[in-house]
Amino acid sequence: MSRVLFTSIGAALLATMLGMPAQAQQRPQIETTKVDGTDNVYIFRNGNHQSMFVVTKDGVIATDPIAYGRPNGGQQYVDEIKKVTDKPIKYLIYSHHHYDHIAGGKAFKDAGATIIAHKKVTEHLAPLKDPNTVLPDQTIDGKKTIKLGGTSVELLYLGPNHSDSNLVIRLPKEKIVFIVDTIPVGSFPGRGMIDFFPLETEAFITKVLALDWDRLIPGHPGQPNGRLGTKDDAKNVLALYQDASAEMRKMGQGGKCWDEAEKEFKLPKYESMPGYANGLPMVARRYCALWGRGT
């Protein structure tokens, strides 16, 4: 108990020193909240990662265990679901293959869930044999609709974007989409650029904008205050990627990649966004690869 107290005081002190808002200082590590205006849609947050789950009269459809580096994180998520409902967890959907979102699925499998993901998830992860990540039981390519207890959940593959395995998970009735990492809400892209598909992502966001939805649940809490995203956020992110691409194109085609271009690359229009300073070199390198290397 005293250690927990000490740790939270330490975190609050650090947050104060870093000038973080009061709300961020007081956030618990784990939090489950019902999405406003829905009967049965929840967000489970663990630290700076979050996922969506839907409770129906016949069982639960969950997404992303978000337990990378947290050996008990999957079980903690299952326990949070059990606080909301005594219905069984029928499905666990992986948003894409990155461990920070999908490690920890064993607790769901043990609870009887069927794990579903895009087929590339298995292709990428089977050779790696990660001890903390359970491979999917079923894979899809294209579209699948899960119907359970009066709720429909659509799984859509709309081409490569943040990775080549990202699904759009859409609730048609609630007009909500769960999209992880490709469309950061209110923050600048960062490390996720490493295996990002620049041109395909522009096509992907255009397809996402054409779908019927009002609110976007991101895989990392939206800025500020953990807000959900809107179509305007998606349009802004598309513009950001297009601006980054256009800026680096000049330098890449001018023979300045890597070193000179990476040093010169700036996007002043976005410099007030959270994550700009840390993310800028990642964005620069990815677009240098595109325009200065052809990759």
Shortest distance in whole angstroms from residue 272 CB to Zn ion: 24
Query: Could you give the strand order of the β-sheet that contains 176-179, starting from the edge strand earlier in sequence?
Result: 143-148, 151-156, 168-171, 176-179, 215-218
Quick one: 182 or 245, whose CB is closer to Zn ion? 182
Cα–Cα distance between 166 and 159 in angstroms, integer? 8
- Look at the block and give the residue holding tokens 């002043």: 268
Stretch of residues binding Zn ion (CB under 5 A), selected from 5-13, 35-43, 62-70, 181-189: 181-189
Size of the site for Zn ion (CB under 5 A): 2
Is residue 118 near Zn ion by the rule CB under 5 A?
no
Is residue 98 near Zn ion by the rule CB under 5 A?
yes
Cα–Cα distance between 221 and 217 in angstroms, integer? 8
Quick one: 70 or 98, whose CB is closer to Zn ion? 98
* Binder of Zn ion out of 64, 164, 174, 181 (CB under 5 A): 181
Please tell me whether the peptide bond between 213 and the residue prior to it is cis, using omega within 30 degrees of 0.
no
Is residue 233 near Zn ion by the rule CB under 5 A?
no
Shortest-Cβ-distance residue relative to Zn ion: 98
Stretch of residues binding Zn ion (CB under 5 A), selected from 61-69, 95-103, 193-201, 255-263: 95-103
Q: Which H or E run contains 140?
A: strand 138-140
Is residue 164 near Zn ion by the rule CB under 5 A?
no
Q: Which residues pair with 117 in a beta bridge?
A: 139
- Look at the block and give the residue holding tokens 């992860």: 125
Stretch of residues binding Zn ion (CB under 5 A), selected from 92-100, 111-119, 146-154, 240-248: 92-100
CB distance 229 to 185 below 8 Å: yes
Shortest distance in whole angstroms from residue 103 CB to Zn ion: 12
- Interface positions with Zn ion (CB under 5 A): 98, 181
